[in-house]
């Protein structure tokens, strides 16, 4: 079923919207959540919470891209759940490692969210990514949006893990320079 029909079911308050959403986007949502939480049970819970939040927000929202809408919801729910569990476990190849890589760019003890208006920062990062090659964009987004492991990215793109690590390091350095040129303290 196409997205416009699924959104129409949400708008009509038809519970079949959840079933169709899960069929089409369940694996996508669970993958995003698992990459962040590294726990299948928690990922399933966040995916179900995503459907509930979509049910509660459509209407009034009418997303142009249901996939992006669901991806953003599940990512935010998973990040919130991960933050709540942060004291229990750190490290690993997934969320924590990727987040720590980006955290190293912030020189002050406050977080990026406290330092810079989120919309301005997002725009600066989008402009930076527009200047990158398609492969570099795919690597960056896979690592820092979907929190995929270096191994997974290398496998998907058919390149070495070493190349992925090198690309990420160079992109973080280039992003730091880009942000500093734009007046963002990092």
> How confident is the model over 46-82, as pLDDT tens digits?
999 999 999 999 989 899 899 999 999 999 999 888 8
Per-residue model confidence as pLDDT tens digits over 118-174: 667 778 888 999 999 999 999 999 998 888 999 999 999 999 999 999 999 999 999
**Domain extents for the chain?**
3-85, 95-181
> Is 160:121 a contact under the CB 8 Å cutoff?
no
pLDDT at 10 over 80: yes
Rounded to whole angstroms, how far apart are CA atoms 22 and 74?
13
Q: Model confidence at 106, in pLDDT bands (50, 70, 90)? A: very low
Long-range contacts of 48-57 (CB under 8 A, 24+ apart): 49/77, 50/74, 50/77, 51/18, 51/21, 51/22, 53/77, 54/10, 54/21, 55/10, 55/17, 55/18
pLDDT at 88: 54
pLDDT at 8 over 90: yes
- Please indicate, yes or no, whether the overall pTM of this predicted structure exceeds 0.85: no
pLDDT at 80: 87
What single DSSP character describes residue 146?
A: S
Rounded to whole angstroms, how far apart are CA atoms 184 and 186?
6
CATH number belonging to domain 95-181: 1.10.10.10
CATH T-level assignment (fold) for domain 3-85: Rna Polymerase Sigma Factor; Chain: A (1.10.1740)
E-state strands within the chain? none
Instruction: Give the closest residue to 168 by CA, choosing from 148, 185, 184.
Output: 148
b/e burial code for range 74-108 (CB count within 10 A of at least 16 → b):
bbebbbebbeeeeeeeeeeebbbebbeeeeeebee
| For range 13-42, the mean pLDDT | 95
Is the peptide bond preceding residue 59 cis, with omega within 30 degrees of 0? yes
pLDDT at 102: 61
């Amino acid at each position: 079923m196409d997205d416009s029909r699924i959104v129409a079911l949400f708008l009509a308050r038809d519970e079949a919207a959840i079933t169709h959403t899960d069929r089409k986007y369940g694996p996508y949502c669970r993958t995003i959540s698992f990459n962040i939480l590294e726990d299948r049970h928690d990922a399933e819970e966040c995916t179900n919470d995503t459907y509930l939040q979509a049910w509660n927000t459509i209407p009034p929202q009418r997303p142009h891209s249901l996939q992006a809408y669901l991806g953003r919801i599940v990512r935010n729910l998973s990040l919130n759940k991960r933050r709540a569990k942060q004291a229990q476990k750190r490290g690993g190849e997934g969320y924590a490692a990727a987040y720590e890589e980006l955290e190293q760019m912030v020189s002050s003890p406050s977080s990026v969210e406290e330092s810079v208006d989120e919309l301005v920062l997002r725009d600066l990062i989008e402009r930076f990514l527009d200047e990158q090659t398609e492969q570099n964009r795919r690597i960056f987004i896979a690592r820092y949006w979907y929190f995929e492991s270096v191994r997974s990215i290398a496998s998907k793109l058919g390149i070495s893990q070493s190349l992925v690590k090198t690309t990420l390091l160079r992109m973080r350095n280039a992003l730091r320079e880009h942000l500093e040129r734009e007046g963002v303290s990092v």
